[in-house]
């Protein structure tokens, strides 16, 4: 191994999470596996076959390049849906490969219907309704115009879905806003039924909505973070556990990110450690140097905050995160030696490090840290 760290992906952990999601979503609710951001850092190419093995047959991506990776790596005829960006030049490719598209503006709808008509084909579309997030989605007047367009090209599309996305279902602070979006979504879909337009799937829920707002589950859920073994926020986990007897986290981390101790060093009381003066040894101590830093995706936000597992113990990252190194206080693990395993995310013995346990100072840290894990770190699937 030439690299300073490796990532292992656990098939059994993924199976456990998918089972949990399917049970929570309920019978007859389809799960779309959200794998944008390089499958939240896990790696699309490896993750797609793993998810298929766990029973997934539908994937959601952000962009056409990601959809291409799914088309190339799937082995069971799985479907893929682009929730975000595609160039007009790639629309024909999408149509020919049965790639499904979110429609959030009329231009996109008209161009793809015309292209489908010209090629005597059908474009698979999901009408993305604006309900209050004010990011992407058809406004009410645009929806009416979209209905007219669909009536003009009745043989040129499959209406795979109607959908929306919530502006922060992972925090109770957004409760009123999410509730009003649910209401607005219902109102706009009634408009569609009045015109006898019925989609195959209605889908609005992301992980947080699936857990905290059961009425958002409908025919399909678009689940990202939960399948990788993380709750969107601590709050969502508490929401889930609230009425449960068993208060243990029902998910398992799919990803294990590991390195090894590169060197150790003794420091005396009162000495500063690493760059600058952010960490001073409060006692004589021993320090491990680990060859992973922000260049490898270990966020600088974790300076004096991060935790790692060494010798089955949870230890603290001390000082600032460097470009290629972090320093760890070995006081609780005097037996640690160069070459010993260091777990940055995942489990060792009975302990585990979720990204969230690094600190709750930002909810987005799970998502951001995972997606920033560089592709250059080698990944392998384990049972």
Ligand X SMILES: *Cc1c(COP(=O)(O)O)cnc(C)c1O
Burial, 372: exposed, middle or buried (Cβ in 10 Å; 0-12, 13-18, 19+)?
Answer: middle
* C-beta of 21 vs 147, nearer to ligand X: 21
Q: Is 323 annotated as a binding residue?
A: yes
Is residue 34 close enough to count as binding ligand X by CB under 6 A? yes
Is residue 212 close enough to count as binding ligand X by CB under 6 A? no
Residue 42 CB, nearest distance to ligand X (Å)? 12
| Contacts (CB under 6 A) with ligand X, residues 64-123 | 83
Catalytic residue list contains 185 = no
Is residue 218 close enough to count as binding ligand X by CB under 6 A? no
Q: Assign 139 to helix, strand or coil.
A: coil
Burial, 157: exposed, middle or buried (Cβ in 10 Å; 0-12, 13-18, 19+)?
Answer: buried
* C-beta of 313 vs 372, nearer to ligand X: 372
Is residue 18 close enough to count as binding ligand X by CB under 6 A? no
Residue 367 CB, nearest distance to ligand X (Å)? 7
d(CA 322, CA 308): 16
| Contacts (CB under 6 A) with ligand X, residues 284-323 | none
Which range binds ligand X by CB under 6 A, 153-161, 217-225, 272-280, 351-359?
217-225
Q: CA angle at residue 370 from 364 to 373, to 5 degrees?
A: 135
Residue of 313, 322, 343, 329 lying closest to 264 (CA atoms):
329
d(CA 221, CA 33): 9
Q: Is 260 annotated as a binding residue?
A: no
d(CA 231, CA 313): 23
Please give the structure tokens belonging to residue 97. 């490969």
Residue 29 CB, nearest distance to ligand X (Å)? 14
Using CA atoms in the order 382, 349, 56, 244, what is the torsion angle rounded to 10 degrees? 170
Is residue 211 close enough to count as binding ligand X by CB under 6 A? no
Which range binds ligand X by CB under 6 A, 224-232, 292-300, 326-334, 349-357?
224-232
Strands 30-34 and 220-223: parallel
Say how many CA atoms lie within 13 Å of 111 toward its Cβ.
15
Residue 270 CB, nearest distance to ligand X (Å)? 45
Say how many CA atoms lie within 13 Å of 135 toward its Cβ.
10
Please give the structure tokens belonging to residue 53. 């093995």
Is residue 343 close enough to count as binding ligand X by CB under 6 A? no
Is residue 250 close enough to count as binding ligand X by CB under 6 A? no
- Active-site hit among 151, 175, 265, 275: 275
Size of the site for ligand X (CB under 6 A): 12
- Active-site hit among 36, 40, 279, 367: 36
- Are the CB atoms for 221 and 212 separated by under 8 Å? no
User: Looking up tokens 């113990």, which residue turns up?
Assistant: 313
Residue 69 CB, nearest distance to ligand X (Å)? 17
| Contacts (CB under 6 A) with ligand X, residues 148-207 | 165, 206-207
Residue 117 CB, nearest distance to ligand X (Å)? 28
Phi (first) and psi of residue 226, to 5 degrees: -60, -40
Chain centroid to Cα 5, Å, comes to 22
Site string for ligand X, 35-54 (x = CB under 6 A): -x------------------
Distances from the Cα of 354 to the Cα of 69, 140, 231, angstroms: 28, 42, 10
Is residue 326 close enough to count as binding ligand X by CB under 6 A? no
Among 123, 225, 254, 317, binds ligand X (CB under 6 A): 225
Residue 172 CB, nearest distance to ligand X (Å)? 16
Is residue 232 close enough to count as binding ligand X by CB under 6 A? yes
Among 30, 42, 79, 222, binds ligand X (CB under 6 A): 222
Element holding 33 (H helix, E strand): strand 30-34
Catalytic residue list contains 53 = no
Is residue 224 close enough to count as binding ligand X by CB under 6 A? yes
Tell me which residues touch ligand X (CB under 6 A): 34, 36, 83, 165, 206-208, 222-225, 232
Residues involved in catalysis? 36, 275
Known binding residues for substrate are: 135, 323
């Amino acid at each position: 191994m030439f690299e300073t760290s490796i990532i292992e992906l656990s098939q059994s952990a993924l199976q456990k999470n998918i089972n949990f999601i399917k049970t929570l979503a309920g019978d007859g609710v389809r799960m779309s596996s959200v794998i944008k951001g390089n499958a939240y850092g896990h790696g699309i190419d490896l993750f797609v076959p793993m998810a298929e093995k766990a029973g997934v047959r539908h994937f959601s991506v952000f962009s056409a390049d990601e959809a291409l990776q799914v088309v190339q790596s799937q082995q069971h005829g799985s479907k893929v849906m682009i929730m975000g960006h595609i160039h007009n030049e790639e629309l024909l490719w999408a149509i020919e490969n049965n790639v499904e598209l979110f429609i959030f503006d009329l231009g996109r709808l008209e161009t793809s219907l015309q292209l489908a008509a010209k090629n005597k084909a059908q474009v698979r579309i999901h009408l993305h309704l604006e309900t209050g997030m004010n990011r992407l989605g058809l406004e009410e007047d645009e929806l009416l115009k979209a209905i007219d367009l669909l009536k003009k090209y009745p043989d040129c599309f499959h209406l795979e879905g109607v959908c929306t996305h919530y502006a922060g279902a992972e925090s109770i602070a957004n409760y009123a806003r999410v509730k009003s979006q649910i209401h607005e979504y219902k109102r706009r879909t009634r408009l569609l039924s009045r015109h006898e337009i019925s989609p195959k799937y209605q889908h609005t829920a992301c992980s947080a909505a699936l857990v905290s707002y059961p009425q958002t589950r409908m025919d399909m859920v678009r689940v990202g973070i939960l399948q990788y073994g993380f709750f969107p926020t601590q709050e969502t986990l508490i929401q889930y556990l609230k009425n449960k007897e068993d208060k243990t986290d029902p998910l398992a981390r799919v990803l294990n990110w590991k390195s090894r101790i590169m060197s150790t060093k003794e420091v005396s009381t009162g000495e500063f450690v690493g760059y600058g003066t952010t960490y001073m040894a409060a006692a004589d101590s021993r320090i491990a140097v680990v060859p992973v830093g922000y260049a490898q995706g270990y966020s600088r936000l974790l300076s004096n905050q991060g935790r790692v597992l060494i010798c089955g113990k949870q230890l603290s990252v001390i000082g600032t995160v460097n470009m290629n190194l972090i320093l760890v206080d070995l006081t609780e693990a005097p037996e640690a030696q160069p070459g010993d395993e260091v777990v940055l995310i995942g489990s060792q013995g009975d302990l585990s490090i979720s990204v969230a346990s690094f600190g709750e100072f930002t909810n987005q840290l799970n998502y951001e840290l995972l997606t920033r894990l560089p592709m250059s770190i080698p990944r392998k699937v384990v049972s």
